[in-house]
Amino acid sequence: MDPGLRRDDNTVPTHIAIIMDGNGRWAKARGLPRTAGHKKGAESLRRAMNACRKHGVKHLTVYAFSSENWNRPADEINDLMQLLQHYLRNELQTLHENQIRLRFIGDLSQLDEHLREQVDETVNQTTRHSQFNLTIALSYGGRQEITRAVQKLAKDIQAGRLKPEQVTEQIIAGALDTAELPEPDLLIRTGGEQRISNFLLWQSAYTEFYFCDTLWPDFGESELEAALQDFSKRERRFGTAGES
């Protein structure tokens, strides 16, 4: 462990978000079906989560399936959903052992009922854990999330529970799926693309971005440590004049 990455050091992000990209290309390079890349990617998630816990990060939010990913071939979508079912079944013990609270963000109403029940059940079983927070963005899109929040607030206004002038940034943030979460300090995207692809649009207003070429199935502890190292050198100003 790098001596610069101490647990009590505020240069360690509280919340890391990851766009786990590159599974398909990883598989293609090996002449394997895309699903093989997704399967391998689940192992990377395990490694990344362990590395986050080791370094004192409290929240990890991962982009597993976007609103736009529903446009992929049905076979690939089915494989991804099955993989998620396996993941939930296999990880529950680890979540308990390490006191990890699991959450989901996204429009879960689009999932099939069986999977949705399994998701709810697993999430509910971890609500008392507080050592670490894993949030999976599933059927998630930032624009869709904001749209749902606006609809909810519009209904509150229509019903007389809220006045238009009472709509503040805090009220909007509280109507998002991420209401309970701090904003991400660091957003990592693997796979070489440098775009946000509809992830955490509202929440990443002042997030530090880190892009790497490593394909997600190849991402491990040392890649996460490189991102932490990079983050520790950033000067976050939040619009102020800074220290210099």
23's contact among Mg ion, ligand IPE, none, with CB below 5 to 8 A by partner kind, is: ligand IPE
Position among 51, 64, 136, 175 found at the interface with ligand IPE (CB under 6 A)? 64
d(CA 144, CA 129): 29
219 lies in the site for ligand IPE, by CB under 6 A: no
When binding is defined by CB under 6 A, the residue of 16, 17, 19, 36 that contacts ligand IPE is 19
Shortest CB 60 distance to ligand IPE, Å: 14
Residue 86 CA to residue 183 CA, distance in Å, equals 29
Q: Is 91 in the site for ligand IPE (CB under 6 A)?
A: no
CB nearer to Mg ion: pick between 21 and 91: 21
Query: In this structure, what token pair is assigned to residue 117?
Result: 């029940």
Judged by CB under 6 A, the chain residues 152 through 211 that form the site for ligand IPE are 191, 193, 195, 197
Q: Which is nearer to Mg ion, 69 or 118 (CB)?
A: 69
21 part of the interface to Mg ion, by CB under 5 A: yes
Name the minimum Å distance from CB 216 to Mg ion.
Answer: 9
β partners of residue 164? none
Per partner kind, with CB cut-offs from 5 to 8 A, the member of Mg ion, ligand IPE, none near residue 69 is ligand IPE
Q: What are the residue numbers of the active site? A: 21, 69
Min dist. Cβ of residue 64 to ligand IPE (A): 6
- Secondary structure of the chain as H, E, C letters: CCCCCCCCCCCCCCEEEEECCCHHHHHHHCCCCHHHHHHHHHHHHHHHHHHHHHCCCCEEEEEEEEHHHHHCCHHHHHHHHHHHHHHHHHHHHHHHHCCEEEEEECCHHHCCHHHHHHHHHHHHHCCCCCCEEEEEEEEECHHHHHHHHHHHHHHHHHCCCCCHHHCCHHHHHHHCCCCCCCCCCEEEECCCCCCCCCCCCCCCCCCEEEECCCCHHHCCHHHHHHHHHHHHCCCCCCCCCCCC
Q: Is 214 in the site for Mg ion (CB under 5 A)?
A: no
Does 26 interact with Mg ion (rule: CB under 5 A)?
no
> Is residue 24 a contact residue for ligand IPE (CB under 6 A)?
yes
Q: Does 11 bind ligand IPE (CB under 6 A)?
A: no
Write out the residues near ligand IPE by the rule CB under 6 A: 19-25, 63-66, 69, 80, 191, 193, 195, 197
Residues that bind Mg ion (CB under 5 A): 21
